[in-house]
Structure 1
């Protein structure tokens, strides 16, 4: 995975060699799986998905998620009977569980499928900073570089804090998936859906307000900001847009463009764009994980929504240029983003949106996004099982192959990117 982030093509080529070798060692290890096997499964799964092999990646990650339970990682090590692990080993176990938990939520949103790991099934507490050995300075001098600062490779407060709060954000994303995405009740009451959205929105704002100073960021923040902090806020605003973006068939609803939901989407879009500018000045996009592809797709869909509602082609062009530049920067690391880029470029060739909005669109028609205010009158918030098969002609759920996007429809009235699946299949 580190080789993928390299700026040298020769180094990136090593990633395929390492991945192939890892897979050859993986299956014989299933007889007696250990922590290394679980970590390898998660990493290989992320890599396969990012390289346009989603079914294989989903398989690897699915095994990893179930293996986490099989190994008892969902139980805090302090509660294990007869446990002889050191404090460092216990922290490593906790971090592996929470990293797996985070990956589960990312892929559930990415694929549009139910999560495998549930918060109520776990009692694992948050991780803490790892204690370093007393001779840490000597080890650095001997094996890393003479005279290097003892804190150069420290398990820093911002890094550990970002990991902890990323796990907390994933718990809220879990609620978005299970309480909204999986709401399959026929004729679900609009008021109940709106109340759920309001509750999750409150959870997100509480999460943001609870961030410690080391993880704080806003549009007026100046100076050097750690990469993990910028990435953390990208994920927050991505979640905000996912929660509030209205279904596309409501775009002709009067005053939709001035609704609170749409305003929240626009605000989070601007925050994501500012975060991207800050990140690109200090770091390389290639170093971001796979879920940055999801952030770019969500940002692109919001720009397209603004284009449709506000007819502001000039503003759309500036915002989309920044997003496309980021896509181009990471396409060697995550080739799946190329399909999004192609779709966006095709959309930009369309001079203006058509007057008629199709009744169903796979990108924005989530069917459960009600908003903080009164739900759009006449909306049907249920998600029938046959919807997926009609839209995608599949029976195994809407796996977003070829880089998240299903394609671009030919007529201008339907030129939108297929980013989010409309339903979640049970039993997957």
Structure 2
């Protein structure tokens, strides 16, 4: 199949490379000439394990290409995927669909034979209707079917998620579109990946509902963690105790500083706004947003308490800046409000992240960036673990203690055992592990 992928961001680039690896001919299109030039030089603009090798092998095979020219890519395509950004619209939290609408108009002008236009971007219910209307108005003669095919990729594990999905959701009532999309995903039949066909609006809502539910699980266990701290319980045992119930499941029950990233914050906000627009308020999701926003800054008070309630003149080392490991994504990362709050409380902040510091400099320009975890500990009154990178799970604790001004560690990801840290001579604070 011939595929045009509009957008070379996280979703577009991963999807395009994986489709090419399935054997399809894929052209990834973007308006950012700097990004396309970099890709043509073999430079990958995002950090995702395995993506550089996957892109390189498929470019070498001739199945994957990059272009600024949308018209040529669309004219020859059997399927056109829209994988552009849908950030939160400034001021009201709605999803900004301007990039989706602009792509639809440009696609419309270049359609030739029957083409399936597939929205891969995360979009509110009814966006497929808008895309179809825009295409029909711009090109009434177009032989086109518009479908929804939301992505369910975890940053840091996106290639595996794409090639071994839990499910593939396709929203369309058009039989010709189903035939094309079935052929695109045919290589996954060997993995017995279930393809779920629904109405277009249903597919759009499935994506938002999934993200909102996972965000709710995270927020729920974070609130239980607060209760565990005050009652002397251990939230990790609580999470395991409820997660073993297969009606609940163990995933997304890890207490921490709150969720971030490119999906959960913006998608939960957009879902709340959609509910308001349709007079079907989503009170649980509204509460999730409020609790999560408050939690990120509350972690700074946890650090302050570990240092006696006063951060004036203190140096705090922060390990991990990205919103999760194995990505350089700083969007809505808990480290940002945490560090801002630490600075507001009078602390000087120094930080280290294995891959995210270049991106972090744009968000946090006024902190000191260190070469490694031990440099980050040097001279620190407290060391805060914010992102659970593998590199932080087996630190030389004796060396860390020797370099710190005070042996205080605040572990917001619970990657160490309290008894281990006590034995090593640290004042140790974690999340949701109270002392009876």
More strand by share: 2
TM-score (norm 1): 0.30
TM-score (norm 2): 0.30
More helix by share: 1
Greater Rg over alpha carbons, structure: 2
